[in-house]
Structure formats: structure tokens, C-alpha cells
């Protein structure tokens, strides 16, 4: 793949996370009917919480994860855990299990011991899936390494098998999108088949979901069925497949994919963030609407900082290969 296209895709995937997160943030927790009734389609970032275009825990954790990968030229569990804890801003809205994990890290507990203590055996929330765009990018060319690092990064806060498999699936979906040419049509069934073949799925939850997904690929406008079948809550099994579906049913356009994901209601910032990561990895930053890029928060760790991290990850792939 052309190196500058690859760079555009790395940036697209990480800014895509920020965009989906910020677009979905104001309506997190609302149903699709309530969103339709009160807002119609959400195509512009609304002023809520810390302001229009601001990110939540999804992007804040992605930033910490990317900082750690860059600093250590790969995975370092203790450092990544520490960065999650150091970057933690409670005003951004974190899941309760992750807050517990971050306090255990802050108290000095070794990172390998933290994840399993959350919810007595590990969380299956989507908190470790929403932040993995940098893993999908850095290891776009090394699926075995991608799988290993996605699982390890999840273990820090989400040690449940469903949390780890969700993170691995989401990271692999990002890497597959990065590997596809943005001007060619995507074969959705092929994408799904490749995806489930590339992750060793032990738990019996994701595979049947992907079968259902194949059956409803032609009817994305029936939101009731999509939400009933795939889910839209903050567990990984009820949100990672939903994000992949949002991308696969709207591969032609970044904006349409993310607007659709947010319009499904429920965990809108996170399903938006994960869809944005995949779709942004497919299209690249250059095909993301400029009105969205312009409104993203851009303070010390905002839009430009995220782009800089993406460029550093891209440079790591060209040096190593």
C-alpha cells in the first residue's frame, strides 16, 4: 500500500474514534426512537458535557494506549496501565468497573492483578474495545501480534474473555479496514468471514452474532431488528458487532457510517467511536468531513495531538518493516 495513503488511514482511524465519540456523547443512553423524535438525524456535534466536539473516556483511553505504544515501541503492561490512570479525567465519564481498575492501578497494584478483580473475574464492558484503534493501526500487517497485544491491553481493565475477544475483534476490524483500498467496494460477507477466522474465539457469543449480522446486512434501516439482534449497550458483545455492522452497511461514506451508528441509540459515543475507528481506517482522514475535524477539541491532548500520535505509529511501521 502507498505509504501516504497508509498514513492518512492511521490518522483517520484515530480521529475517527474522536469524531464518533464526540458525535455520540450528547445522546449516550437514549433510545433510537427518542433520538429520532428529538433530534432527527445527528449530523452535527451538539453542545453537551464539556462542549461540542469534546471527547469522553473512549478517546481519552485511546490516547493513553497510543502514548504507551509509541513510548515503548510496542506493548508494556505496567506503563499502559499507569498512563490510563494518569490520563483519567472523571469529567469525561467512565464505566464503573474501569474506575475501580484505575484506582487499583493508582494504589500500586501490579497491572496483571487488576483486571481480574473487576466484577469478580473481569469486566466484559466495551471499555477495552473502544480504545484499540492504535493497535489495529500499528499491527495492521501482523495479525498474530495484533491479537496478542489487543488481548493484553484489554487485560489491564477488562480481563473477562468476552472483553478480550471484543477488543481483539475491534482491533482486527480496524486493521482489515486499513488494508482495504478506499475506492474499491467492500464485500461485507468476506469481511466477516475473514474476521472470525483471524481471531480464535473461545466463547460462544460472537460467532452466532456474526451469523445474525450476515442475515440482516440488507436491512440496516430496520433499527428495531438491528438493536434487538446485535444490541447497543455498553457490554462488548452488544456493541462491537454493532459497530462492525454500522461500518459494513455504510462502507461508501465515513459520515453515513458514523451518523448511522449514533442513530442506533444506547451506547452512542462508544458505538460511534468504534464505527469511526473502522470507517476512518478505511477512508482515511482526507475523506472525513472537514466541519467535523474543525470542531474537535484541540487543547493539550486534542485533535492535533491525536494526529501526531497516529503519525508516530505510522513511522514505527515503516522503520520496522
Positions touching ligand R7I (CB under 6 A) are 56-58, 93-98, 118-119, 123-127, 160, 234-235, 267, 269-270
129 binds, among Mg ion, ligand R7I, none (CB under 5 to 8 A by kind): none
Site for Mg ion in 142-201 (CB under 5 A): none
Return the range that interacts with Mg ion (CB under 5 A); candidates 57-65, 73-81, 152-160, 167-175.
57-65
What is d(CA 134, CA 153) in angstroms, rounded to the nearest whole number?
Answer: 11
Shortest separation between residue 119's beta carbon and ligand R7I, angstroms: 3
Bridge partners, residue 125, by sequence: 235
Binding mask 223-262 for Mg ion (x = CB under 5 A): ----------------------------------------
Work out the angle at residue 82's Cα, subtended by the Cα atoms of residues 132 and 113, and round it to the nearest 5 degrees. Answer: 85
What is d(CA 53, CA 51) in angstroms, rounded to the nearest whole number?
Answer: 6
Q: Which is nearer to Mg ion, 133 or 178 (CB)?
A: 133
What is d(CA 91, CA 128) in angstroms, rounded to the nearest whole number?
Answer: 19
Does the footprint of Mg ion cover residue 307 (CB under 5 A)? Answer: no
Q: Which is nearer to ligand R7I, 119 or 139 (CB)?
A: 119
Question: 126: buried, middle or exposed (CB in 10 Å: 19+, 13-18, 0-12)?
Answer: buried
235 binds, among Mg ion, ligand R7I, none (CB under 5 to 8 A by kind): ligand R7I
Query: 3-state class of 302 per DSSP?
Result: coil
Return the range that interacts with Mg ion (CB under 5 A); candidates 53-61, 151-159, 177-185, 294-302.
53-61
Return the range that interacts with Mg ion (CB under 5 A); candidates 48-56, 79-87, 258-266, 287-295.
48-56
Q: Which residue has the cell 478483580?
A: 117
Q: Which is nearer to ligand R7I, 119 or 292 (CB)?
A: 119
Q: Which is nearer to ligand R7I, 109 or 216 (CB)?
A: 109
Q: Nearest to residue 238, comparing CAs of 161, 321, 124?
A: 124
Query: What is the four-CA torsion angle of 270, 103, 302, 151, rounded to 10 degrees?
Result: -50
Name the strand (E) or helix (H) holding 207.
helix 206-215
Residue from 267, 282, 307, 310 touching Mg ion (CB under 5 A): that is 267
- CA distances (Å), origin 104, targets 70, 85, 231, 298: 24, 9, 30, 30
User: With left for phi above 0 and alpha for psi between -120 and 50, is residue 181 left, alpha or beta?
Assistant: beta
Residue from 157, 246, 249, 270 touching Mg ion (CB under 5 A): that is 270
Q: Nearest to residue 140, comparing CAs of 245, 12, 265, 35?
A: 12
125 binds, among Mg ion, ligand R7I, none (CB under 5 to 8 A by kind): ligand R7I
95 binds, among ligand R7I, Mg ion, none (CB under 5 to 8 A by kind): ligand R7I
In the chain the first and final C-alpha atoms are separated, in Å, by 13
Q: Which is nearer to ligand R7I, 57 or 255 (CB)?
A: 57
Residue from 8, 14, 54, 57 touching Mg ion (CB under 5 A): that is 57
Q: Which residues bind to Mg ion, rule: CB under 5 A?
A: 56-58, 267, 269-270
Amino acid at each position: 500500500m502507498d505509504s501516504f495513503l497508509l498514513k492518512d488511514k492511521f490518522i483517520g482511524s484515530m480521529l475517527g474514534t474522536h469524531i464518533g465519540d464526540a458525535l455520540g456523547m450528547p445522546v449516550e443512553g437514549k433510545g433510537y426512537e427518542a433520538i429520532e423524535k428529538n433530534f432527527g438525524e445527528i449530523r452535527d456535534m451538539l453542545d453537551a458535557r464539556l462542549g461540542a466536539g469534546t471527547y469522553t473516556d473512549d478517546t481519552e483511553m485511546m490516547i493513553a494506549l497510543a502514548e504507551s505504544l509509541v513510548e515503548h515501541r510496542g506493548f508494556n503492561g505496567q506503563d499502559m496501565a499507569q498512563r490510563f490512570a494518569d490520563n483519567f479525567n472523571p469529567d469525561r465519564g467512565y464505566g464503573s468497573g474501569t474506575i475501580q481498575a484505575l484506582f487499583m492501578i493508582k494504589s500500586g497494584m501490579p497491572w496483571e492483578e487488576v483486571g481480574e478483580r473487576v466484577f469478580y473475574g473481569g469486566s466484559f464492558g466495551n471499555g477495552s474495545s473502544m480504545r484499540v484503534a492504535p493497535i489495529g493501526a500499528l499491527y495492521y500487517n501482523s495479525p498474530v501480534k495484533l491479537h496478542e497485544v489487543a488481548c493484553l491491553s484489554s487485560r489491564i481493565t477488562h480481563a473477562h474473555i468476552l472483553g478480550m475477544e471484543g477488543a481483539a475483534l475491534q482491533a482486527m476490524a480496524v486493521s482489515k479496514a486499513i488494508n482495504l483500498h478506499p475506492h474499491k467496494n467492500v464485500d461485507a460477507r468476506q469481511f466477516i468471514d475473514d474476521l472470525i477466522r483471524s481471531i480464535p474465539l473461545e466463547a460462544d457469543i460472537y460467532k452466532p452474532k456474526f451469523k445474525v449480522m450476515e442475515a440482516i446486512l440488507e436491512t440496516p434501516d430496520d433499527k428495531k431488528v438491528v438493536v434487538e439482534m446485535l444490541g447497543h449497550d455498553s457490554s462488548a458483545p452488544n456493541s462491537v458487532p454493532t459497530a462492525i455492522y454500522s461500518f459494513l452497511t455504510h462502507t461508501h461514506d465515513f459520515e453515513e457510517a458514523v451518523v448511522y451508528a449514533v442513530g442506533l441509540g444506547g451506547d452512542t459515543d462508544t458505538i460511534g467511536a468504534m464505527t469511526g475507528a473502522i470507517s476512518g481506517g478505511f477512508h482515511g482522514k482526507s475523506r472525513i468531513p472537514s466541519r467535523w475535524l474543525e470542531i474537535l477539541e484541540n487543547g493539550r491532548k486534542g485533535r492535533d495531538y491525536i494526529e501526531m500520535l497516529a503519525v508516530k505509529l505510522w513511522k514505527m511501521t515503516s522503520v520496522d518493516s
